[in-house]
Structure 1
Amino acid sequence: MNGSEAYASALRLLTGRGYSEAGLAERLRRKGCGEAEIAAALERCRELGYLDDARYGRDLAASLLRAGRAVGPRLLAELKRRGLPEETARAALEEASGEVNEEALLSEQLERRFSGFSYLEADERQRRRVVNFFLRRGFPLALILSTIKQER
């Protein structure tokens, strides 16, 4: 695959969704592009503003937080898994975390996912299920317990 084909592939991928530089490079490698072609395509995308790790990290962090799919350390791990460098991922996490109230988010997710859940009426298995659901998403245990124990 030559340089212009690698660039065209990069543009097609970027029209579908955002990518980190590392994520886009990996996708281009899987398509059979050489390292020189990938580097040229990434550079051109960066110059034109189509590829920006900081913007991608902020958007992804905000999206995952708003949806309640990842918070705190889990969100940081997800950003790094998507190919963002450590410092970019941390900056995106801090910016997005400042905009979201974790307690309100957890309450909203509890009501949406486990409507009618009552800590006092639930058996041990149901309690564990709810707590583990939120732990997997990165919520702190103390916050989870204080939120689910509140009278509903």
Structure 2
Amino acid sequence: MALREIRTFDDEVLRKVCKPVAKVDDHVRQILDDMAETMYHAPNGGGLAANQVGILRRLIVVDMGEGLYKLVNPEIVESSGEVVGLEGCLSFPGVWGKVKRPARVVVKALDENGSPVTLDVTGDMAKCLCHETDHLNGIVFTSKIIEYVDMDEEE
């Protein structure tokens, strides 16, 4: 495994749409492993999309404290409710804001072995999956912030 460089702020790759992964193979698994290591190495990392490390493929890793998910070609197929919550992003260090997201999402994807998985989640996991899926579509959370938050004042 290897740490990858996290792309930040005005890097154009963050605003590009990622291409689907045609085949889950050892190369894809290595990228997912590298992404997980990079996410765990970063402060406050709960999720990471492939374009955040310069790879324009539909891959995300997420760990919101309930274990690591490595997802290939994730797609939100259902959502319901609405919640406004605080978000940050490894690609925008020091930037925090309140973002409106669905309260519940259903995500279909492939796991690291190419097997289909369905996640039906709420709370922080739903927020994170929406955030990372947005990344794959070239959408950064700063474009969805409804109120910026100064974390120095929050302490």
TM normalised by structure 1 equals 0.25
- Rg comparison, structure with higher value: 1
Richer in helix (by share): 1
Q: Which has the higher contact order (CA 8 A, sep 6+)?
A: 2
Richer in strand (by share): 2
